Every structure is written in C-alpha cells, then in structure tokens.
A and B are shown apart, each in its own frame.
Chain A
Amino acid sequence: MKKKFKILIDGKELSVKHGQTILEVASNNGIYIPTLCNYVNLEPQASCRVCSVKVNGRPMTACTTTVRPKMEIENDTKEMNELRKIIIETMFITGNHFCPSCEKSGNCELQALAYRLKMDVPQFSYSFSNKDIDASNPKLMIDHNRCIKCKRCARGIKTDDGKDIFAFKNRGKKIMISIDNELAKNISDEKAQEAMDICPVGAILKKERGFIDPIGTRKYDNKPIGSDIEKLMEVRS
C-alpha cells in the first residue's frame, strides 16, 4: 500500500498517492482542469498545453506530471485561465472555426473551452486557412481547416487488426493529419463513429451524422465543459 501525502490545488488540501497525475487527482476530487489533447484511456501527449498548471511557480502539464509531496498547484486562477485562453485563441485563428456552419458545434471541445474561458473574440487576426476538405472516404469526411492537431485520432483509432489509420505529416506550422485511405475505407460504421467522437472538433465527421442533435440538447448547450467533474464535488460536499 502506497503512503498518502498532501498537496494543494488552489489552496485546497488533497490527500493523494504517488503515481497519480495532477489531472487524475484533480478530477477525482471534483476539480476541473481544462484539457484538449487528452482523452479517456489514451496515453497523455501533453501537446495542447491547455492543462498547464503552475506547480510551485513553474508551468507543468497536469496530464503528465505526477504528484509529489509539497506540491502547491495553481489551476483556476485568473493568470492561468488567461494563458489558456491565448492558446485556445491561436487555435481558432489558425484554422477555420466558423461555428455556425460546423456539424460539431455544441459538441465541440474547442468551442466549449472558448465558452468556459470567456473568449468573445480572438485577439489575433483570422488566417482563413484554405486546406483540403477530403470527402473521398465512403464513411468519413475530413476537414483539415478544423483540425487542431491533437492527434487523438492517431492515438485512439486503429483498424480491427491494430493498424494505424491516422498519423502526422510534416512539421511546424505545416503539420497535418494524414490518413491511410486504403485502410480507412474499410472501417466499420462503429469505428467511423468512434473516429468522429474522438475528434474534439469537427475535423473528422461521420457522413450523414452532422447536425443530428437539435440546438439546446447538445453536450455543451446548457452546462460548461467540466461541469460533470465539478458536479462530483457538489455531490460529495
């Protein structure tokens, strides 16, 4: 049995065990730390940097940093939320995120984070990117203008015999998701739905599934992202 010790998140004392990440500890205790490239049951990647918290004054990603004794963590502070908002804003302007015409609107994590962090307008100029929209696949549609390069698809979606369908291509600002169309055209309907669900934005869509939820009933229409975690705390206290 591992010994427990205490850490502080935004002044709140938590009793924790070695080996857990800051994100796990926070979630288990009803504290929401915003995430984007992280996804349930996937190895963390720590590339979006949205889950950054200050650990004893230094920025660290909550999804990869394991708790240690004497950690004092700043999470839901004005400063951290402002910095996260800037990251979100850069994603909005780098791609084309015209929400009214997007099938994922209302269920989109990028949009939900913008709501939660109160982004009214990005402080940067829109780039109006003109990347490929690939509808050649019988089941999926890929809009590269919406892709935020979280690589969740590449990490989570494989063929039934375990082959990779998605990966990165290029580097830097030219980076994009590449798809093995040969493998992708034979995926099952369930797998296609999984691919759409794992994508936090509207970059991967299952055909004939767009706009299926009426406005008002979508995931983030009424409750901010993270409220399911925070509800945990309310229930306990």
Chain B
Amino acid sequence: MSKPIVATTALASCFGCHMSFLDIDDRILQLIDLVDFNKSPIDDIKTFTKKCDIGIIEGGVANSENYHVLKEFRKNCKILISLGECAIMGGLPAMRNNKDSIESCLKEAYQDSPSTINKNNILPNDEELPMILDKVYPCHEVVKIDYFLPGCAPRADLIWDALVALLNGKEIDPEYKTYKFD
C-alpha cells in the first residue's frame, strides 16, 4: 500500500514553523516510514508531481506568488492545514495591515527610512517581482482550510500529534500544553 503523501510550503513567514516541524527529533525517522513527501522544502521538490493527501501551509498570503502557491496547494491536496500564526491570522507580516496604504509602507521601507540609500527614489517595480497585496491575508480568507495548528511557532509535539491523528483518521485533540498562540 502506498503511503500518504504530504506537501509543505512557506508563504509570507520566517520558516520557523518548518523548523519546529523538524524539531520532532527522532520521530522524524518514524515520519519517513509513515508518509512520503511531494512538493516541499523538506525534499526540495519545486512543483507538484502528484496529488497529495495533506498540504501544510506556513505563512500568510502577502503577494501574488503566495496566492498562486496557495491555490496550487488547494488544487492538489485533499486536506489543507494552516500551520502557525502567520497562516492563521497573518502574523508578523500582517502588522502592516493597519497601516495607511501599500504606498506608505513601500515608501517607509525603500525611501523614507533613515538607513535607506535609494538615489533614484525607485519603489521596487521589476517585472520579476511578485505583486504585493493590499494586506496580508490569513490563508483561510483566500482558500478553504481544513485544520488550524496555532503557535509561533507551533510546538513540535502539536504538529506531530496532529499529523499522527490525521494519518490514523482520528480527530485532532491537542494536549493543553502544546496548544499555544505564541
């Protein structure tokens, strides 16, 4: 019997949730017995090569690339999990959400800050760059998300317990100590 396939990605985030994922210590050996990975930084597969059972999303949706990746995940994964505060509520990147406008954010970052040297006063506009969204969106405000594992970063035990539960067709019932928003 083939193993369930897991895909993971990091959108607008710090990769901390992935680090925490790796923090399951020696259980990572069991994990390899339990699942195969497809598109994920863990195996460095860049695009989906097959349909997956579980997609794990770290980070919120801050730009057009995040949006495309998230849509791909929704298309290719049966179950999607928002992992960590950024995926769940925008997190640190979303601290720009209550600022006046994108323009003022960009100006602050690239023109007006005391440490900036930007002789031509250009706001980043290269065609290769993803386009920045008006705010950082929690993933579930863009596509349907099935499960949410909070934390900044989520505790390794929480990620492990949740994955094991899902793989065994059980409800996720997190332990109190592992279920935190920070």
Chain A residues at the B interface, C-beta cutoff of 8 Å = 96, 98-102, 105-106, 111, 114-115, 118, 120-121, 125-126, 128-130, 145, 215, 221-224
Does A128 contact B181, Cβ atoms closer than 8 Å?
Answer: no
Given A128-B97, A130-B98, are A221 and B152 neighbors across the interface (CB < 8 Å)? no
By beta carbon, the residue of chain B nearest A93 is B89
Q: Which of A120, A130, A222 contacts B150 (CB 8 A)?
A: A120
Question: In whole Å, how far is B102's beta carbon from the nearest beta carbon of chain A?
Answer: 14
Q: Which of B98, B99, B141, B176 contacts A222 (CB 8 A)?
A: B176
In the bound complex, CA of A111 to CA of B140 (Å): 21
Does B179 contact A126, Cβ atoms closer than 8 Å?
Answer: no
The interface residues of chain A lying within 8 Å CB-to-CB of B90 are 126, 128
In the bound complex, CA of A4 to CA of B64 (Å): 67
The interface residues of chain B lying within 8 Å CB-to-CB of A223 are 176
Does B98 contact A114, Cβ atoms closer than 8 Å?
Answer: no
By beta carbon, the residue of chain B nearest A128 is B97
In the bound complex, CA of A128 to CA of B140 (Å): 16
In the bound complex, CA of A125 to CA of B82 (Å): 15
Chain B residues at the A interface, C-beta cutoff of 8 Å = 82, 85, 88-92, 94-95, 97-99, 135, 138, 140-141, 147-150, 152, 176-177, 179-182
Given A96-B98, A99-B152, A126-B90, are A121 and B181 neighbors across the interface (CB < 8 Å)? no
Given A99-B85, A120-B148, A222-B176, are A128 and B94 neighbors across the interface (CB < 8 Å)? yes
Q: Which of B82, B85, B148 contacts A98 (CB 8 A)?
A: B85
The interface residues of chain B lying within 8 Å CB-to-CB of A125 are 141
Q: Which of A96, A100, A129, A222 contacts B181 (CB 8 A)?
A: A100
The interface residues of chain A lying within 8 Å CB-to-CB of B88 are 120-121
The interface residues of chain A lying within 8 Å CB-to-CB of B89 are 98, 121, 126
Does A222 contact B177, Cβ atoms closer than 8 Å?
Answer: yes
The interface residues of chain A lying within 8 Å CB-to-CB of B85 are 98-100
In the bound complex, CA of A102 to CA of B95 (Å): 12
Question: In whole Å, how far is A147's beta carbon from the nearest beta carbon of chain B?
Answer: 15
